[in-house]
Structure 1
Protein backbone atom coordinates (compact mmCIF):
# COMPACT_ATOMS: atom_id res chain seq x y z
CA UNK A 1 0.00 0.00 0.00
CA UNK A 2 1.27 3.47 -0.87
CA UNK A 3 2.26 5.66 2.10
CA UNK A 4 0.54 8.98 1.34
CA UNK A 5 1.88 10.51 4.56
CA UNK A 6 5.38 10.41 3.07
CA UNK A 7 4.12 12.41 0.07
CA UNK A 8 2.69 15.04 2.40
CA UNK A 9 5.95 15.28 4.33
CA UNK A 10 8.10 15.56 1.18
CA UNK A 11 8.68 19.22 0.24
CA UNK A 12 7.11 20.17 -3.09
CA UNK A 13 9.17 22.13 -5.64
CA UNK A 14 7.15 25.29 -4.96
CA UNK A 15 7.79 24.90 -1.24
CA UNK A 16 11.53 24.65 -1.88
CA UNK A 17 11.45 27.79 -4.00
CA UNK A 18 9.51 29.54 -1.23
CA UNK A 19 12.28 28.62 1.24
CA UNK A 20 14.82 30.32 -1.01
CA UNK A 21 12.59 33.36 -1.50
CA UNK A 22 12.17 33.79 2.26
CA UNK A 23 15.53 35.55 2.17
CA UNK A 24 14.43 37.83 -0.66
CA UNK A 25 13.15 40.89 1.15
CA UNK A 26 13.19 44.55 0.18
CA UNK A 27 14.23 47.22 2.65
CA UNK A 28 13.27 50.74 1.64
CA UNK A 29 16.29 53.05 1.57
CA UNK A 30 14.60 56.27 0.43
CA UNK A 31 11.47 57.42 -1.35
CA UNK A 32 10.47 60.62 -3.06
CA UNK A 33 7.32 62.25 -4.42
CA UNK A 34 8.49 63.98 -7.57
CA UNK A 35 6.68 66.72 -9.47
CA UNK A 36 8.35 67.52 -12.77
CA UNK A 37 7.36 70.37 -15.08
CA UNK A 38 8.38 70.00 -18.74
CA UNK A 39 10.84 70.07 -20.26
CA UNK A 40 12.74 67.81 -17.88
CA UNK A 41 15.07 64.81 -17.95
CA UNK A 42 16.66 63.16 -14.90
CA UNK A 43 19.49 60.63 -14.96
CA UNK A 44 19.65 57.95 -12.25
CA UNK A 45 23.23 56.67 -11.93
CA UNK A 46 24.01 53.00 -11.45
CA UNK A 47 23.80 52.09 -7.76
CA UNK A 48 23.66 48.82 -5.81
CA UNK A 49 20.08 49.46 -4.67
CA UNK A 50 17.07 48.51 -6.77
CA UNK A 51 15.14 51.45 -8.26
CA UNK A 52 11.35 51.74 -8.33
CA UNK A 53 9.25 54.30 -10.24
CA UNK A 54 5.48 54.77 -10.17
CA UNK A 55 3.90 57.32 -12.53
CA UNK A 56 0.85 58.66 -10.71
CA UNK A 57 -0.06 61.41 -13.14
CA UNK A 58 0.94 62.50 -16.62
CA UNK A 59 3.55 60.45 -18.39
CA UNK A 60 7.27 60.01 -18.86
CA UNK A 61 9.83 58.44 -21.13
CA UNK A 62 12.23 55.91 -19.66
CA UNK A 63 15.59 55.24 -21.28
CA UNK A 64 16.26 51.66 -20.31
CA UNK A 65 19.69 50.29 -19.29
CA UNK A 66 19.87 48.90 -22.83
CA UNK A 67 19.48 52.38 -24.34
CA UNK A 68 15.91 52.02 -25.67
CA UNK A 69 13.18 54.56 -24.89
CA UNK A 70 10.00 53.27 -23.25
CA UNK A 71 6.81 55.33 -22.89
CA UNK A 72 5.25 55.28 -19.40
CA UNK A 73 1.65 56.35 -18.80
CA UNK A 74 -0.19 57.31 -15.62
CA UNK A 75 -0.55 54.19 -13.46
CA UNK A 76 2.60 52.53 -14.82
CA UNK A 77 5.26 51.18 -12.45
CA UNK A 78 8.72 49.81 -13.21
CA UNK A 79 11.34 48.06 -11.11
CA UNK A 80 15.05 48.01 -11.96
CA UNK A 81 16.28 45.24 -9.63
CA UNK A 82 20.00 45.94 -10.11
CA UNK A 83 19.76 49.74 -10.03
CA UNK A 84 21.21 50.08 -13.53
CA UNK A 85 21.85 53.47 -15.12
CA UNK A 86 18.61 54.89 -16.62
CA UNK A 87 16.88 58.16 -17.45
CA UNK A 88 13.36 59.49 -16.91
CA UNK A 89 12.32 62.41 -19.13
CA UNK A 90 9.39 64.37 -20.50
CA UNK A 91 10.86 63.77 -23.96
CA UNK A 92 13.87 61.81 -25.24
CA UNK A 93 15.42 65.00 -26.70
CA UNK A 94 15.71 66.90 -23.39
CA UNK A 95 19.25 67.21 -21.88
CA UNK A 96 19.59 65.36 -18.58
CA UNK A 97 20.50 66.47 -15.07
CA UNK A 98 21.49 64.13 -12.24
CA UNK A 99 18.84 63.11 -9.72
CA UNK A 100 21.07 64.30 -6.87
CA UNK A 101 21.06 67.86 -8.30
CA UNK A 102 17.30 68.31 -7.85
CA UNK A 103 15.82 70.26 -4.95
CA UNK A 104 14.87 67.97 -2.07
CA UNK A 105 12.89 68.49 1.14
CA UNK A 106 12.56 65.77 3.80
CA UNK A 107 8.98 65.31 5.01
CA UNK A 108 9.53 62.10 7.03
CA UNK A 109 12.35 59.70 7.69
CA UNK A 110 13.78 58.65 4.31
CA UNK A 111 10.86 60.26 2.44
CA UNK A 112 11.32 63.42 0.39
CA UNK A 113 9.65 65.91 -1.88
CA UNK A 114 11.77 66.15 -5.02
CA UNK A 115 11.98 68.60 -7.92
CA UNK A 116 9.12 71.08 -8.22
CA UNK A 117 7.36 69.28 -5.37
CA UNK A 118 10.15 70.53 -3.07
CA UNK A 119 10.34 74.07 -4.49
CA UNK A 120 6.66 74.84 -4.59
CA UNK A 121 4.68 72.51 -2.37
CA UNK A 122 0.96 73.08 -2.66
CA UNK A 123 1.07 74.66 -6.12
CA UNK A 124 -1.73 73.77 -8.53
CA UNK A 125 -0.49 71.23 -11.05
CA UNK A 126 -0.68 72.06 -14.73
CA UNK A 127 -1.75 69.58 -17.39
CA UNK A 128 1.80 68.84 -18.51
CA UNK A 129 3.21 68.10 -15.06
CA UNK A 130 4.30 64.57 -14.20
CA UNK A 131 3.78 63.27 -10.66
CA UNK A 132 5.82 60.23 -9.70
CA UNK A 133 6.68 58.26 -6.60
CA UNK A 134 10.22 56.90 -6.80
CA UNK A 135 12.18 54.72 -4.43
CA UNK A 136 15.53 53.09 -3.80
CA UNK A 137 15.31 49.63 -2.26
CA UNK A 138 17.87 47.18 -0.96
CA UNK A 139 17.57 43.42 -1.36
CA UNK A 140 18.49 41.26 1.62
CA UNK A 141 20.18 38.92 -0.84
CA UNK A 142 23.62 39.62 -2.22
CA UNK A 143 23.56 41.33 -5.65
CA UNK A 144 25.40 38.30 -7.08
CA UNK A 145 22.81 35.82 -5.82
CA UNK A 146 21.72 33.55 -8.72
CA UNK A 147 18.12 34.74 -8.49
CA UNK A 148 19.08 38.40 -8.80
CA UNK A 149 21.55 37.84 -11.60
CA UNK A 150 18.81 36.06 -13.59
CA UNK A 151 16.39 38.98 -13.35
CA UNK A 152 16.06 41.32 -16.32
CA UNK A 153 17.38 44.87 -15.98
CA UNK A 154 13.82 46.21 -16.10
CA UNK A 155 10.47 44.79 -14.94
CA UNK A 156 7.23 46.57 -15.88
CA UNK A 157 4.19 46.01 -13.68
CA UNK A 158 1.68 46.32 -16.54
CA UNK A 159 3.33 43.40 -18.34
CA UNK A 160 2.88 41.17 -15.29
CA UNK A 161 -0.51 42.46 -14.08
CA UNK A 162 -2.54 39.89 -16.01
CA UNK A 163 -0.87 37.07 -14.05
CA UNK A 164 -1.56 38.48 -10.59
CA UNK A 165 -4.71 40.47 -9.65
CA UNK A 166 -2.83 41.98 -6.71
CA UNK A 167 -0.64 44.03 -9.05
CA UNK A 168 -3.39 46.21 -10.65
CA UNK A 169 -5.09 46.53 -7.25
CA UNK A 170 -1.88 47.91 -5.74
CA UNK A 171 -1.39 50.27 -8.69
CA UNK A 172 -4.94 51.61 -8.26
CA UNK A 173 -4.43 52.07 -4.51
CA UNK A 174 -1.17 53.97 -5.04
CA UNK A 175 -2.79 56.20 -7.65
CA UNK A 176 -5.60 57.10 -5.24
CA UNK A 177 -3.17 57.71 -2.38
CA UNK A 178 -1.13 60.15 -4.48
CA UNK A 179 -4.24 61.97 -5.72
CA UNK A 180 -5.89 62.41 -2.31
CA UNK A 181 -2.74 63.58 -0.46
CA UNK A 182 -4.16 62.44 2.88
CA UNK A 183 -2.30 62.54 6.19
CA UNK A 184 0.38 59.87 6.24
CA UNK A 185 0.10 59.33 2.48
CA UNK A 186 3.87 59.20 1.94
CA UNK A 187 4.36 56.47 4.51
CA UNK A 188 1.48 54.47 3.03
CA UNK A 189 2.95 54.86 -0.45
CA UNK A 190 6.37 53.67 0.73
CA UNK A 191 4.88 50.50 2.18
CA UNK A 192 2.75 49.89 -0.91
CA UNK A 193 5.82 50.39 -3.09
CA UNK A 194 7.65 47.69 -1.10
CA UNK A 195 4.73 45.28 -1.54
CA UNK A 196 4.30 46.11 -5.24
CA UNK A 197 8.00 45.58 -5.94
CA UNK A 198 7.89 42.22 -4.13
CA UNK A 199 4.75 41.28 -6.08
CA UNK A 200 6.44 42.13 -9.39
CA UNK A 201 9.34 39.84 -8.46
CA UNK A 202 7.03 37.05 -7.35
CA UNK A 203 5.08 37.16 -10.63
CA UNK A 204 8.33 37.18 -12.58
CA UNK A 205 9.56 34.13 -10.67
CA UNK A 206 6.28 32.32 -11.35
CA UNK A 207 6.55 33.19 -15.05
CA UNK A 208 10.16 32.02 -15.10
CA UNK A 209 9.16 28.78 -13.43
CA UNK A 210 6.68 28.02 -16.21
CA UNK A 211 9.64 27.81 -18.59
CA UNK A 212 12.32 27.02 -16.04
CA UNK A 213 15.96 26.55 -16.83
CA UNK A 214 19.22 26.98 -14.96
CA UNK A 215 19.04 27.93 -11.31
CA UNK A 216 15.23 28.07 -11.07
CA UNK A 217 14.98 24.66 -12.74
CA UNK A 218 17.39 23.35 -10.11
CA UNK A 219 15.26 24.75 -7.29
CA UNK A 220 12.14 23.30 -8.88
CA UNK A 221 13.72 19.84 -8.95
CA UNK A 222 12.63 18.17 -5.66
CA UNK A 223 15.94 16.40 -5.04
CA UNK A 224 18.40 19.12 -6.10
CA UNK A 225 16.13 21.87 -4.78
CA UNK A 226 16.31 20.26 -1.34
CA UNK A 227 20.11 20.51 -1.48
CA UNK A 228 20.09 24.16 -2.60
CA UNK A 229 17.60 25.12 0.11
CA UNK A 230 19.81 23.46 2.75
CA UNK A 231 22.93 25.31 1.53
CA UNK A 232 21.19 28.68 1.66
CA UNK A 233 19.63 27.93 5.05
CA UNK A 234 23.02 27.14 6.64
CA UNK A 235 25.79 28.72 4.54
CA UNK A 236 28.26 28.53 7.44
CA UNK A 237 27.98 24.73 7.65
CA UNK A 238 30.91 22.71 6.32
CA UNK A 239 29.09 21.28 3.30
CA UNK A 240 31.00 18.47 1.59
CA UNK A 241 30.05 16.62 -1.58
CA UNK A 242 29.39 13.37 0.38
CA UNK A 243 27.13 15.25 2.81
CA UNK A 244 25.16 16.88 0.00
CA UNK A 245 24.94 13.64 -1.94
CA UNK A 246 23.53 11.93 1.15
CA UNK A 247 20.98 14.74 1.51
CA UNK A 248 19.87 14.13 -2.07
CA UNK A 249 19.93 10.35 -1.57
CA UNK A 250 22.41 9.66 -4.35
CA UNK A 251 25.98 8.53 -4.83
CA UNK A 252 28.72 11.18 -4.89
CA UNK A 253 29.32 10.85 -8.62
CA UNK A 254 25.68 10.85 -9.70
CA UNK A 255 24.90 13.77 -7.37
CA UNK A 256 27.83 15.86 -8.62
CA UNK A 257 26.91 15.13 -12.25
CA UNK A 258 23.21 15.94 -11.77
CA UNK A 259 23.93 19.11 -9.77
CA UNK A 260 26.46 20.45 -12.27
CA UNK A 261 24.22 19.66 -15.24
CA UNK A 262 21.19 21.40 -13.72
CA UNK A 263 22.74 24.34 -11.87
CA UNK A 264 25.57 25.01 -14.30
CA UNK A 265 28.44 24.76 -11.82
CA UNK A 266 29.89 22.18 -9.46
CA UNK A 267 28.52 21.71 -5.92
CA UNK A 268 31.82 22.89 -4.41
CA UNK A 269 31.86 26.09 -6.45
CA UNK A 270 28.21 26.83 -5.65
CA UNK A 271 28.77 26.29 -1.91
CA UNK A 272 31.85 28.55 -2.00
CA UNK A 273 29.86 31.34 -3.66
CA UNK A 274 26.97 31.12 -1.21
CA UNK A 275 29.39 31.17 1.75
CA UNK A 276 31.20 34.23 0.43
CA UNK A 277 27.88 36.00 -0.25
CA UNK A 278 27.01 35.41 3.41
CA UNK A 279 30.44 36.65 4.52
CA UNK A 280 30.02 39.83 2.51
CA UNK A 281 26.65 40.51 4.14
CA UNK A 282 28.18 40.01 7.60
CA UNK A 283 31.11 42.32 6.85
CA UNK A 284 29.46 45.00 4.73
CA UNK A 285 26.09 45.34 6.43
CA UNK A 286 26.77 44.22 9.98
CA UNK A 287 30.35 45.44 10.30
CA UNK A 288 31.65 42.01 11.33
CA UNK A 289 35.43 41.79 11.61
CA UNK A 290 37.12 39.76 8.90
CA UNK A 291 38.72 37.42 11.44
CA UNK A 292 35.32 36.71 13.00
CA UNK A 293 33.77 35.92 9.62
CA UNK A 294 36.68 33.60 8.82
CA UNK A 295 36.25 31.72 12.09
CA UNK A 296 32.49 31.50 11.69
CA UNK A 297 32.91 29.89 8.27
CA UNK A 298 35.46 27.42 9.62
CA UNK A 299 38.65 28.76 8.02
CA UNK A 300 41.94 27.99 9.75
CA UNK A 301 43.29 31.50 9.18
CA UNK A 302 42.15 34.94 8.15
CA UNK A 303 44.63 34.81 5.25
CA UNK A 304 43.12 31.65 3.73
CA UNK A 305 39.62 33.10 4.11
CA UNK A 306 40.71 36.37 2.47
CA UNK A 307 42.14 34.49 -0.51
CA UNK A 308 38.93 32.50 -0.94
CA UNK A 309 36.81 35.64 -0.57
CA UNK A 310 38.80 37.55 -3.21
CA UNK A 311 38.69 34.59 -5.59
CA UNK A 312 34.86 34.57 -5.47
CA UNK A 313 33.99 38.24 -4.93
CA UNK A 314 36.80 39.89 -6.88
CA UNK A 315 38.01 42.07 -3.99
CA UNK A 316 39.49 41.41 -0.53
CA UNK A 317 37.21 41.36 2.53
CA UNK A 318 39.20 44.25 4.04
CA UNK A 319 37.96 46.47 1.20
CA UNK A 320 34.38 45.48 1.95
CA UNK A 321 34.85 46.25 5.64
CA UNK A 322 36.31 49.65 4.74
CA UNK A 323 33.17 50.31 2.73
CA UNK A 324 31.10 49.62 5.85
CA UNK A 325 33.27 52.01 7.89
CA UNK A 326 32.94 54.76 5.26
CA UNK A 327 29.17 54.33 5.18
CA UNK A 328 28.97 54.47 9.00
CA UNK A 329 30.90 57.76 9.04
CA UNK A 330 28.41 59.38 6.66
CA UNK A 331 25.38 58.62 8.86
Structure 2
Protein backbone atom coordinates (compact mmCIF):
# COMPACT_ATOMS: atom_id res chain seq x y z
CA UNK A 1 0.00 0.00 0.00
CA UNK A 2 1.36 3.45 -0.88
CA UNK A 3 2.08 5.98 1.87
CA UNK A 4 -0.88 8.29 1.20
CA UNK A 5 -3.35 5.40 1.18
CA UNK A 6 -1.98 4.18 4.52
CA UNK A 7 -2.33 7.69 5.97
CA UNK A 8 -6.02 7.69 5.09
CA UNK A 9 -6.41 4.23 6.60
CA UNK A 10 -4.82 5.51 9.82
CA UNK A 11 -7.06 8.55 10.26
CA UNK A 12 -10.28 6.47 10.04
CA UNK A 13 -12.38 8.92 8.03
CA UNK A 14 -15.93 7.65 8.56
CA UNK A 15 -19.35 8.48 10.00
CA UNK A 16 -20.20 11.14 7.45
CA UNK A 17 -23.14 13.38 8.27
CA UNK A 18 -24.77 16.23 6.43
CA UNK A 19 -27.44 18.87 6.81
CA UNK A 20 -28.91 21.49 4.49
CA UNK A 21 -28.91 25.10 5.68
CA UNK A 22 -31.58 27.28 4.08
CA UNK A 23 -30.85 30.88 5.04
CA UNK A 24 -32.66 34.18 4.52
CA UNK A 25 -31.74 37.80 5.23
CA UNK A 26 -28.90 38.71 7.60
CA UNK A 27 -28.29 35.22 8.99
CA UNK A 28 -25.21 33.72 10.64
CA UNK A 29 -24.07 30.34 11.91
CA UNK A 30 -20.97 29.08 13.67
CA UNK A 31 -19.19 25.77 14.10
CA UNK A 32 -16.87 24.82 16.97
CA UNK A 33 -13.72 22.76 16.62
CA UNK A 34 -14.61 19.06 16.86
CA UNK A 35 -11.63 17.46 15.12
CA UNK A 36 -13.75 16.55 12.11
CA UNK A 37 -13.48 17.40 8.43
CA UNK A 38 -16.04 20.04 7.46
CA UNK A 39 -17.09 20.95 3.91
CA UNK A 40 -19.67 23.36 2.56
CA UNK A 41 -21.16 23.30 -0.92
CA UNK A 42 -22.93 26.55 -1.81
CA UNK A 43 -25.93 25.39 -3.81
CA UNK A 44 -27.60 28.83 -4.11
CA UNK A 45 -26.80 32.42 -3.14
CA UNK A 46 -23.61 33.68 -1.55
CA UNK A 47 -22.04 34.14 1.88
CA UNK A 48 -18.87 34.96 3.80
CA UNK A 49 -16.82 32.44 5.79
CA UNK A 50 -14.80 33.87 8.70
CA UNK A 51 -11.85 31.68 9.67
CA UNK A 52 -9.03 32.80 11.94
CA UNK A 53 -9.39 36.49 11.03
CA UNK A 54 -9.68 35.64 7.33
CA UNK A 55 -12.82 36.32 5.29
CA UNK A 56 -13.54 34.08 2.30
CA UNK A 57 -16.27 35.08 -0.13
CA UNK A 58 -18.31 32.09 -1.32
CA UNK A 59 -20.89 31.98 -4.09
CA UNK A 60 -23.14 29.44 -5.77
CA UNK A 61 -21.10 26.57 -7.16
CA UNK A 62 -18.25 26.86 -4.63
CA UNK A 63 -16.89 24.16 -2.33
CA UNK A 64 -14.84 25.00 0.75
CA UNK A 65 -13.23 22.26 2.79
CA UNK A 66 -11.81 22.83 6.30
CA UNK A 67 -9.67 19.74 7.02
CA UNK A 68 -9.42 20.07 10.81
CA UNK A 69 -12.92 21.44 11.38
CA UNK A 70 -11.36 24.52 12.97
CA UNK A 71 -13.83 26.90 14.63
CA UNK A 72 -15.41 29.24 12.10
CA UNK A 73 -18.32 31.56 11.41
CA UNK A 74 -20.45 31.95 8.29
CA UNK A 75 -22.50 35.08 7.62
CA UNK A 76 -24.74 36.54 4.95
CA UNK A 77 -22.46 39.54 4.52
CA UNK A 78 -19.35 41.28 5.84
CA UNK A 79 -21.55 43.60 7.88
CA UNK A 80 -21.85 41.69 11.14
CA UNK A 81 -24.95 43.40 12.55
CA UNK A 82 -26.57 40.17 13.75
CA UNK A 83 -26.98 39.38 17.45
CA UNK A 84 -26.53 35.61 17.70
CA UNK A 85 -24.99 33.10 15.35
CA UNK A 86 -26.65 29.67 15.42
CA UNK A 87 -24.23 26.97 16.59
CA UNK A 88 -24.70 24.11 14.12
CA UNK A 89 -22.17 21.76 15.77
CA UNK A 90 -24.79 19.59 17.47
CA UNK A 91 -27.26 19.78 14.57
CA UNK A 92 -25.27 17.18 12.60
CA UNK A 93 -26.30 14.64 15.24
CA UNK A 94 -29.75 15.97 16.09
CA UNK A 95 -31.08 16.83 12.65
CA UNK A 96 -28.84 14.92 10.25
CA UNK A 97 -30.08 14.62 6.68
CA UNK A 98 -32.58 17.46 7.26
CA UNK A 99 -32.99 21.09 6.19
CA UNK A 100 -32.38 23.76 8.82
CA UNK A 101 -34.12 27.11 8.37
CA UNK A 102 -32.00 30.15 9.22
CA UNK A 103 -33.93 33.41 9.18
CA UNK A 104 -33.40 36.88 10.56
CA UNK A 105 -35.46 40.05 10.55
CA UNK A 106 -32.33 42.17 10.77
CA UNK A 107 -31.43 44.33 7.80
CA UNK A 108 -29.98 44.49 5.24
CA UNK A 109 -31.93 41.73 3.53
CA UNK A 110 -30.04 39.22 1.41
CA UNK A 111 -30.71 36.70 -1.31
CA UNK A 112 -31.75 33.27 -0.08
CA UNK A 113 -28.80 30.95 0.40
CA UNK A 114 -28.82 27.14 0.35
CA UNK A 115 -25.77 25.35 1.74
CA UNK A 116 -24.98 21.64 1.93
CA UNK A 117 -22.87 21.14 5.08
CA UNK A 118 -20.93 17.87 5.35
CA UNK A 119 -19.02 16.53 8.35
CA UNK A 120 -16.70 13.52 8.32
CA UNK A 121 -15.36 12.14 11.62
CA UNK A 122 -11.67 11.28 11.85
CA UNK A 123 -9.00 10.34 14.37
CA UNK A 124 -7.59 13.84 14.88
CA UNK A 125 -4.44 12.60 16.66
CA UNK A 126 -3.51 10.28 13.78
CA UNK A 127 -4.38 13.05 11.33
CA UNK A 128 -2.08 15.61 12.97
CA UNK A 129 0.78 15.34 10.40
CA UNK A 130 -1.77 15.63 7.58
CA UNK A 131 -3.46 18.67 9.14
CA UNK A 132 -0.09 20.34 9.72
CA UNK A 133 0.80 19.90 6.04
CA UNK A 134 -2.54 21.07 4.62
CA UNK A 135 -3.73 24.68 4.43
CA UNK A 136 -6.44 25.89 6.82
CA UNK A 137 -8.97 25.55 4.03
CA UNK A 138 -9.28 24.48 0.40
CA UNK A 139 -11.56 26.59 -1.75
CA UNK A 140 -12.63 25.14 -5.10
CA UNK A 141 -14.73 27.46 -7.23
CA UNK A 142 -17.45 26.68 -9.77
CA UNK A 143 -17.70 22.99 -8.87
CA UNK A 144 -21.15 22.77 -10.43
CA UNK A 145 -19.94 23.99 -13.83
CA UNK A 146 -18.69 21.89 -16.74
CA UNK A 147 -15.16 23.24 -16.14
CA UNK A 148 -14.91 21.59 -12.71
CA UNK A 149 -12.77 18.43 -12.33
CA UNK A 150 -14.68 15.38 -13.55
CA UNK A 151 -14.13 13.50 -10.28
CA UNK A 152 -15.76 16.36 -8.39
CA UNK A 153 -18.79 16.56 -10.68
CA UNK A 154 -19.40 12.81 -10.46
CA UNK A 155 -18.87 12.73 -6.68
CA UNK A 156 -21.30 15.58 -6.05
CA UNK A 157 -23.91 14.07 -8.37
CA UNK A 158 -23.74 10.82 -6.39
CA UNK A 159 -23.87 12.77 -3.14
CA UNK A 160 -26.95 14.70 -4.27
CA UNK A 161 -28.74 11.50 -5.27
CA UNK A 162 -27.86 9.60 -2.09
CA UNK A 163 -28.65 12.58 0.14
CA UNK A 164 -32.25 12.71 -1.09
CA UNK A 165 -33.05 9.02 -1.13
CA UNK A 166 -33.41 6.56 1.73
CA UNK A 167 -31.95 3.40 0.25
CA UNK A 168 -30.20 0.41 1.86
CA UNK A 169 -26.49 1.04 2.36
CA UNK A 170 -26.85 4.80 1.94
CA UNK A 171 -24.76 5.74 4.99
CA UNK A 172 -21.88 3.56 3.82
CA UNK A 173 -21.99 5.08 0.34
CA UNK A 174 -21.99 8.59 1.82
CA UNK A 175 -18.95 7.69 3.95
CA UNK A 176 -17.08 6.54 0.84
CA UNK A 177 -18.12 9.60 -1.17
CA UNK A 178 -16.89 11.98 1.51
CA UNK A 179 -13.63 10.02 1.76
CA UNK A 180 -13.14 10.23 -2.02
CA UNK A 181 -13.96 13.94 -1.98
CA UNK A 182 -11.33 14.61 0.70
CA UNK A 183 -8.67 12.36 -0.85
CA UNK A 184 -9.09 13.96 -4.27
CA UNK A 185 -8.87 17.46 -2.76
CA UNK A 186 -5.62 16.44 -1.05
CA UNK A 187 -4.23 14.89 -4.24
CA UNK A 188 -5.05 18.05 -6.20
CA UNK A 189 -3.33 20.12 -3.51
CA UNK A 190 -0.22 17.90 -3.67
CA UNK A 191 -0.10 18.26 -7.46
CA UNK A 192 -0.03 22.06 -7.10
CA UNK A 193 2.54 22.17 -4.29
CA UNK A 194 5.65 24.22 -4.94
CA UNK A 195 7.20 23.74 -1.50
CA UNK A 196 9.57 20.78 -1.76
CA UNK A 197 9.86 20.59 2.05
CA UNK A 198 6.19 19.86 2.60
CA UNK A 199 5.44 16.49 4.26
CA UNK A 200 2.83 15.78 1.57
CA UNK A 201 5.48 15.97 -1.14
CA UNK A 202 7.48 13.33 0.69
CA UNK A 203 4.52 10.92 0.47
CA UNK A 204 4.84 10.90 -3.33
CA UNK A 205 8.62 11.31 -3.49
CA UNK A 206 10.12 8.58 -5.71
CA UNK A 207 12.54 7.51 -2.94
CA UNK A 208 11.30 8.75 0.44
CA UNK A 209 7.76 7.45 -0.09
CA UNK A 210 9.06 3.88 0.33
CA UNK A 211 10.37 4.67 3.81
CA UNK A 212 7.14 6.41 4.82
CA UNK A 213 5.09 3.49 3.49
CA UNK A 214 6.91 0.95 5.69
CA UNK A 215 6.89 3.24 8.75
CA UNK A 216 3.12 3.57 8.49
CA UNK A 217 2.51 0.05 7.23
CA UNK A 218 4.88 -1.91 9.48
CA UNK A 219 5.55 0.19 12.60
CA UNK A 220 6.19 -2.93 14.68
CA UNK A 221 9.39 -3.76 12.78
CA UNK A 222 12.81 -2.89 14.25
CA UNK A 223 13.60 -0.04 11.88
CA UNK A 224 16.96 1.71 11.86
CA UNK A 225 18.16 4.58 9.69
CA UNK A 226 20.16 2.03 7.71
CA UNK A 227 17.23 -0.33 7.09
CA UNK A 228 14.93 2.56 6.13
CA UNK A 229 17.60 3.85 3.73
CA UNK A 230 17.74 0.39 2.15
CA UNK A 231 13.99 0.61 1.44
CA UNK A 232 14.75 3.73 -0.59
CA UNK A 233 17.90 2.30 -2.26
CA UNK A 234 19.91 5.18 -0.81
CA UNK A 235 23.01 5.54 1.33
CA UNK A 236 22.42 6.12 5.03
CA UNK A 237 23.73 9.68 5.02
CA UNK A 238 21.91 10.76 1.85
CA UNK A 239 18.64 9.29 3.11
CA UNK A 240 18.95 10.84 6.57
CA UNK A 241 19.74 14.28 5.16
CA UNK A 242 16.95 14.21 2.56
CA UNK A 243 14.39 12.88 5.05
CA UNK A 244 15.23 15.54 7.65
CA UNK A 245 15.21 18.27 5.00
CA UNK A 246 11.78 17.33 3.63
CA UNK A 247 10.01 16.12 6.78
CA UNK A 248 11.54 18.52 9.28
CA UNK A 249 12.69 15.84 11.72
CA UNK A 250 14.98 12.81 11.69
CA UNK A 251 13.71 9.41 10.46
CA UNK A 252 13.78 7.87 13.96
CA UNK A 253 12.06 10.87 15.54
CA UNK A 254 9.30 10.63 12.94
CA UNK A 255 9.04 6.86 13.49
CA UNK A 256 8.69 7.33 17.25
CA UNK A 257 5.99 9.98 16.92
CA UNK A 258 4.00 7.80 14.53
CA UNK A 259 4.28 4.82 16.87
CA UNK A 260 3.03 6.87 19.81
CA UNK A 261 0.10 8.30 17.85
CA UNK A 262 -0.80 4.76 16.78
CA UNK A 263 -0.51 3.59 20.39
CA UNK A 264 -2.91 6.35 21.48
CA UNK A 265 -5.40 5.10 18.90
CA UNK A 266 -5.15 1.52 20.20
CA UNK A 267 -5.56 2.74 23.78
CA UNK A 268 -8.72 4.67 22.89
CA UNK A 269 -10.17 1.70 21.00
CA UNK A 270 -9.61 -0.52 24.05
CA UNK A 271 -9.18 -3.80 22.18
CA UNK A 272 -5.65 -4.68 23.34
CA UNK A 273 -3.71 -4.76 26.60
CA UNK A 274 -0.92 -2.24 27.12
CA UNK A 275 1.67 -4.97 26.65
CA UNK A 276 0.08 -5.98 23.34
CA UNK A 277 -0.02 -2.36 22.18
CA UNK A 278 3.64 -1.91 23.08
CA UNK A 279 4.58 -4.83 20.80
CA UNK A 280 2.20 -3.69 18.06
CA UNK A 281 3.97 -0.35 17.80
CA UNK A 282 7.52 -1.67 17.92
CA UNK A 283 8.51 -1.74 21.60
CA UNK A 284 9.93 -4.98 23.03
CA UNK A 285 9.58 -3.64 26.58
CA UNK A 286 6.30 -2.44 28.09
CA UNK A 287 8.28 -0.30 30.55
CA UNK A 288 10.21 1.50 27.80
CA UNK A 289 6.96 2.06 25.91
CA UNK A 290 5.17 3.47 28.97
CA UNK A 291 8.04 5.83 29.77
CA UNK A 292 8.24 7.14 26.21
CA UNK A 293 4.46 7.50 25.98
CA UNK A 294 4.32 9.53 29.21
CA UNK A 295 7.02 11.92 27.97
CA UNK A 296 4.84 12.75 24.96
CA UNK A 297 1.31 12.68 26.43
CA UNK A 298 2.09 13.57 30.09
CA UNK A 299 0.08 10.49 31.08
CA UNK A 300 0.95 6.82 31.39
CA UNK A 301 -0.82 4.54 28.89
CA UNK A 302 -3.17 3.36 31.67
CA UNK A 303 -3.99 6.92 32.72
CA UNK A 304 -4.55 7.91 29.08
CA UNK A 305 -7.00 5.05 28.55
CA UNK A 306 -8.85 5.78 31.81
CA UNK A 307 -9.14 9.48 30.97
CA UNK A 308 -10.59 8.70 27.54
CA UNK A 309 -13.09 6.20 28.98
CA UNK A 310 -14.17 8.76 31.61
CA UNK A 311 -14.87 11.33 28.88
CA UNK A 312 -16.99 8.78 27.00
CA UNK A 313 -19.11 8.15 30.11
CA UNK A 314 -19.71 11.90 30.56
CA UNK A 315 -20.82 12.22 26.92
* Structure 1, unaligned runs of 5 or more: 1-14, 118-125
Name which of 242, 247, 262 aligns with 1:263.
247
Residue matched to 1:281: 265
- Kindly indicate whether residue 30 of structure 2 is the aligned counterpart of residue 43 of structure 1: yes
Listed as ranges, the gaps of 5+ residues in structure 2 are 103-108
Matched with 2:151 is 166
Match of 1:214 among 182, 198, 203: 198
Report 1:239-258 matches (<5 A). 239-258=223-242
Tell me if the contact between 1:53 and 1:135 (Cα under 8 Å) persists in the aligned partners: yes
How many residues of Structure 1 are paired with residues of Structure 2 in the alignment?
A: 302
Structure 1's 207 and 141: CA in aligned 2 closer, same or farther, altered over 3 A?
Answer: farther
Equivalent residues in 2 for 1:12-161, closer than 5 Å? 16-20=2-6, 23=9, 26-64=13-51, 66-92=52-78, 93=80, 94-100=82-88, 106=94, 111-113=96-98, 115-116=100-101, 128-139=111-122, 142-158=125-141
* 8 A contact 1:310–1:317 mirrored in 2: yes
Give yes or no for contact 1:285–1:324 (8 Å, CA) kept in 2. Answer: no
Closer/same/farther in 2, CA of residues 28 and 271 from structure 1, 3 Å limit = same
RMSD value, Cα: 3.7
CA deviation map 1:226-275 (0-9, x unaligned): 11111111112221223223333344334323322333211110110111
Measured against aligned partners, the alpha-carbon deviations of 1:69-99 in whole angstroms (never above 9, x if no partner) come to 2222222221110111100112331234352
Distance 1:81 1:225 in 2: 22
Contact 1:28 1:194 in 2 (8 A): no
